[in-house]
């Protein structure tokens, strides 16, 4: 450890992935605004929003790009603040690259769920990935329930997620399917990757999480693409 350069040790303790995700999100929002406005459907589709017709035509990257797009100032402010507070904590717990993987896989899982269950809507936003971070902490709370601090934080995440999902039920503008899909994706990918900073993940849980993640995503993608043939 003493032979490790000081700047490497300092970087390792900095949530630089969270900062990078925030920076990318803000830059993309600025570009949306300059291109004609973040609330313009035309601009959103051009920048990569989840749009089933385009996905059916082969633009599979639209499962990823919506994570970095936002619709209006309130949307990016809420998600940006949530990303900062949840991201810093999750990056510390899971480590930089596991955190990034959880964030992206959760976002993709949420967009896949939206692709299947909400096909007529153009959608965008980081909330699919943010709900995945909540799902990841629920997994930790269940796996490491013997650790009081982990359990306490997991319960807070569970309450926060439940309140948000309840509000989703009364808001027609919110993609609840994307949020649920993101939560499940975050739960499963966290089970697969583990959290070495807290403890060792049981091997059986990693295997089951990986199998379920691949199986569920595969089934939903197959079902979603077959909709284009109907």
pLDDT at 102: 97
This prediction's pTM: 0.90
Say if residue 124's pLDDT is above 50.
Answer: yes
Q: Identify the active-site residue in 38, 127, 183, 209.
A: 127
pLDDT at 7: 46
pLDDT, mean of residues 152-162: 74
What is the rounded (10 degree) CA torsion for 167, 89, 137, 198? Answer: -170
* CATH class of domain segment(s) 6-229: mainly alpha
Active site residue 179: yes
Note every long-range contact of 55-60, with CB atoms under 8 Å and residues 24 or more positions apart, other chains counting: 55/115, 55/224, 56/225, 56/227, 56/228
Say if residue 194's pLDDT is above 80.
Answer: yes
Active site residue 75: no
Residue with tokens 């993987």: 101
Q: Identify the active-site residue in 106, 179, 183, 209.
A: 179
**Is residue 144 within 8 Å of residue 200, measured between CB atoms?**
no
Q: pLDDT-based confidence at 204, cuts 50/70/90?
A: very high
């Amino acid at each position: 450890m003493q032979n490790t350069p000081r700047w490497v040790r300092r970087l390792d303790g900095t949530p630089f992935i969270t900062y990078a995700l925030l920076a990318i999100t803000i830059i993309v929002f600025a570009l949306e605004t300059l291109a004609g406005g973040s609330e313009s459907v035309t601009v959103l589709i051009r920048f990569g929003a989840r749009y089933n017709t385009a996905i059916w035509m082969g633009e599979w990257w639209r499962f990823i790009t919506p994570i970095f797009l936002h619709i209006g100032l309130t949307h990016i402010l809420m998600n940006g603040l949530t990303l900062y507070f949840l991201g810093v904590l999750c990056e510390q717990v899971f480590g930089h690259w596991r955190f990034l993987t959880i964030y992206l896989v959760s976002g993709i899982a949420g967009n896949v769920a939206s692709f299947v269950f909400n096909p007529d809507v153009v959608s965008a936003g980081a909330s699919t990935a943010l709900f995945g971070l909540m799902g990841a902490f629920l997994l930790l709370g269940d796996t490491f329930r013997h650790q009081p601090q982990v359990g306490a934080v997991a319960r807070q995440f569970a309450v926060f997620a439940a309140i948000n999902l309840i509000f989703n039920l009364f808001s027609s503008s919110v993609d609840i399917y994307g949020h649920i899909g993101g939560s499940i994706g975050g739960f499963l990918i966290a089970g697969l990757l583990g959290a070495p900073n807290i403890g060792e993940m049981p091997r059986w849980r990693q295997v089951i999480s990986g199998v379920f993640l691949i199986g569920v995503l595969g089934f939903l993608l197959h079902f979603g693409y077959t909709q284009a043939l109907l």
